[in-house]
Chains A and B, each alone.
Chain A
Amino acid sequence: MASKVLMKGNEAIAEGALLAGCRHYFGYPITPQTEIAAYMAKKMPKLGGTFLQAESEVAAINMVIGASAAGRRAMTSSSSPGFALKSEGLSYLAGCDLPAVVVNIQRGGPGLGGIQPSQADYYHATKSAGHGDFRMLVLAPNSVQEMLDYAFEAFELADKYRITAMLLSDGTLGQMMEPVDTATKVPGPSIDKPWALTGTGEQRPPNLVNSLYLTPEELEGTVFVRYDRYKVIEEKETRYEEYLTDDADIVVVAYGAASRIAQNAIDAARRDGLKTGLLRPITLWPFPKKPLFRLAQKATAFVAAELSMGQMAEDVELAVRCQRPVFLCRRTGGVMITPEEVLQKIREAALGQDPAA
């Protein structure tokens, strides 16, 4: 029998992590994600795990590096300004090929910004999480159930590909409550980590977790190997959801909280007789480029709806190879888009106007 529990999005993430066997959480308080830390602080001691409130965001991500290097499932969570600070650690995690799960419950920026929901860390998450050539696998849930599901899934993916999996969400989903089924999750077979630091027992050669290579060709080689792995992830792990796209002339692209608003607009557009559909990226990296290009063969125009200034819209334009106009419905700084605003853009797109005009 399915057991449903009413939970906050942030709590669902924490529960998903615990179900995945995460027993090492390191965090630092910042609104609007602090419920994750609070949940972990309550649960971890009873599960024999570690909850540690670090002295800084930087320390927290480096503690994740330590626990992950020791072969454990480890995570941290924060909100936008916190992730700017964690960038150093995200780069080292990639350079060391360490699996980790990080959660960004986004708020408005730049600077101290505000504490209302935003999607303005899209670039940071998908393109420039830190210095150097690397990627994170970025998952964008759009319900409290998915907060749990993808938090769980993030650990499996991180271990499988020795990559940092980021759950990129926002203050809306973090703070809202919905019923969640928690009984469905069982971790897969544990993945062997022969590289982990466990002490040699003087029985095997020492293991080394390192990102330093002073010979350029050697460093380049490690990056090439990593990018081969990224290619496999692009082929196998790209996730998205389509809604009414079969006959759609206009395709709205939106993720996370914005996708729920967009869905209302699409229903309204359909009532007006406009054939409109939704493509919701679930992985933001890898971005669902192929399905978007496929849709571009039939659709006449796209609408990118996002809580940022067109950061995701650029990926939509790249995915459709600029063959179709991409209209942009955007609000930022903690302001939500409304279904009416999305509908207005759908109407403009249906008229075949030039979005740049």
Chain B
Amino acid sequence: MTIVFDKTKALTEAAMHYCPGCTHGIIHRLVAEALDELGLLGRAIGVAPVGCAVFAYNYFNCDMVQAAHGRAPAVATGLKRARPECMVFTYQGDGDLAAIGTAETIHAAMRGENITVIFVNNAIYGMTGGQMAPTTLLGQVTQTTPYGRDKALAGSPLRVSEMLGTVDGAAYVERVAVDSVKNVRGAKRAILKAFKTQAAGQGFSLVEVISSCPTNWGLEPPAALEWLREHMLPVYPLGVYRDKIGDEVAA
């Protein structure tokens, strides 16, 4: 009998707490599989954020630390400087990374900190019950934009990958999505490349994953994926925004 799929040992047996249809589960699996396939699990240290993924430390089968809101890249910096031989990654949402932790993110990239950031962008604060994020789309209704995000009042969506694409210290920045099998495969390839970038000592790597939040968007899971494709992808085009090393380490 041929095994065609097996759960990676880089995920624990803990049942995930995520809402039905949430794509965090897929992204966790991709990160875990990447560490496992590259043989890096034993050297991995993960940094859990504040937000829906706060319990990431229950799911990844490696050493973990839980950081204050937005501070994961700073904590990861301390870890990596202290243990350069370890593979240090953060797993952060859009409120954590692009609002309260913007400075930590940009400056970790600026220093070329040799860490990997997994950035989950679902255009909303999930854990606190659906408030506006910096990545919320114009017109999008949330608890704190009940009449839709108004550019005059709350500005426009922040494009993190484009912004980090201009930062010299960033080695690899790519935006992917997990709305389809094809895109999930692309996301896996990007996450693998990000870890390979770190393993090769090339510097800061970030993979932005466009994700859905059926609960706080008020949509059924399939409709949420449809909404993601229709509304988010035009604002957040998928693609590589920085690639200092090309296919060299990706091979």
Contact = CB atoms under 8 A, between A and B. Distances in A.
B99 interface: no
A70 B78 CA distance: 8
B54 interface: yes
Contacts of A55: 103-104, 106-107
B97 interface: no
A65 B80 CA distance: 12
Contacts of A65: 65, 67, 71, 74-75, 78
A58 B71 contact: yes
Nearest to A89: B68
Contacts of A210: 57, 64-66
B107 A202 contact: no
Contacts of A198: 63, 83, 86
B205 interface: no
B105 to A, nearest CB: 10
Interface string A57-94: 01110111111111110100000000000001100100
B42 A26 contact: no
Contacts, number: 134
A266 to B, nearest CB: 45
Contact of A62 (B43, B61, B63, B67): B67
Contacts of A199: 42-45, 62-63, 83, 85-87
Contacts of A202: 41-42
A70 B63 CA distance: 10
A211 interface: yes
Contacts of B42: 199-203
The 3 A-B residue pairs with the shortest CB-CB distance, nearest first, are A66-B78, A70-B82, A62-B74
Interface of B: 41-45, 47, 54, 57, 60-68, 71, 74-83, 85-87, 103-104, 106-107, 111
25 contacts: A24-B78, A24-B81, A26-B78, A55-B104, A56-B103, A60-B74, A63-B75, A63-B78, A65-B75, A65-B78, A66-B76, A66-B82, A69-B79, A70-B83, A88-B68, A197-B45, A197-B79, A199-B44, A200-B61, A200-B63, A202-B42, A206-B62, A208-B64, A210-B66, A212-B66
